[in-house]
Amino acid sequence: MREGKDHFPTSGASSFLRRPTIWDTCLLIFLLLLTFTAPRILIGASGGSLKAGSYIEVRTVDGSSVISLKKDATHIVKGPLGAAKIIIEDGQARMESAPCPLKICEAMGPIKNAGETILCLPNRISVKVTGGEGELDAVSR
C-alpha cells in the first residue's frame, strides 16, 4: 500500500495520483452493478478488530489515493456528479458534503476503524479505512 499522501487532488487529470488500473475500473463498475434483493449501501468493514486505522483509501472513477488519518485536512474529490468534500478530523473521516441526491454517504457519519467504508454509488466514490493494529479480514454483519 502506498502511504503518506496527505493531499488529495482537487480536480482534473493532472492531479491524479496514479492512473486507474483495470482493477479500479472493475471494482467501481461492480459496485454499481451488483445488487442483491433489496438494494442497500454497506457501511462496510473488512479490517481492524475495530481498531483505529491509519489511512483512508479513496477511490473514484479516475483513480485512487491513500490519505493519512493522522493529519486533520479537507479533501475535495471529484466524481461524475461533481465535487464531494471529505473531512479528516481527530483520526476520523467523514463525507461532509456530496452532490448525490439522497446524501446517504453524508448520513453514514464518521469512520475511523480499519475496514469501515463510506460508499457513494451515485458519485462513484468509496472511502475505506485501512491499516491499524489487529486487522481483521472482514466483518460479518
Partner 1 sequence: MGTLVEIAAYPDTNRVRTAVAEAYERMEAIEAATDHREEDSVLAALRRGERVTLSGDLRAAFASAMMIARESSGAFDPTMGKVVSLWGFDMDTPRLPLEQELRNSLKTVGFEKVTLAGSIIKADSPVWLDLGGVAKGYAVDEAVKVLKEQGASAGIVNAGGDLKAFGKKPGGKRWRIGVQAPDDHQELAGVLEITNGAVATSGDYERYFETGGKRYHHILDPGTGYPARSGLRSVTIVAFDCLLADALSTAIFVMGPEKGLELLKGRDGVHAVLVLETGEVLTTGGVGSEVGFERR
Q: What is the binding site for partner 1 (CB under 8 A)?
A: 22-23, 26, 30-46, 49-50, 104, 112-113, 115-117, 119, 121, 126, 135-141
Nearer to partner 1, 13 or 22 (CB): 22
Nearer CB in complex with partner 1: 9/113: 113
In angstroms, give the least distance from the CB of 68 to partner 1.
Answer: 20
Q: For residues 56 and 128, is the Cβ–Cβ distance under 8 A?
A: yes
Burial of 77 (0-12, 13-18, 19+ CB in 10 A): buried
Q: How far is the CB of 88 from partner 1 (least distance, A)?
A: 17
Give min distance, CB of 33 to partner 1, in A.
6
The nearer residue to partner 1, 90 or 137, going by C-beta atoms, is 137
Q: 10 Å Cβ neighbour count for 29?
A: 12
With beta carbons less than 8 A apart as the criterion, state whether 75 and 66 touch: no
- Residues 6 or more apart whose CB falls under 8 angstroms from that of 42 comprise 117, 119
To partner 1, the closest distance from the beta carbon of 89 in angstroms equals 16
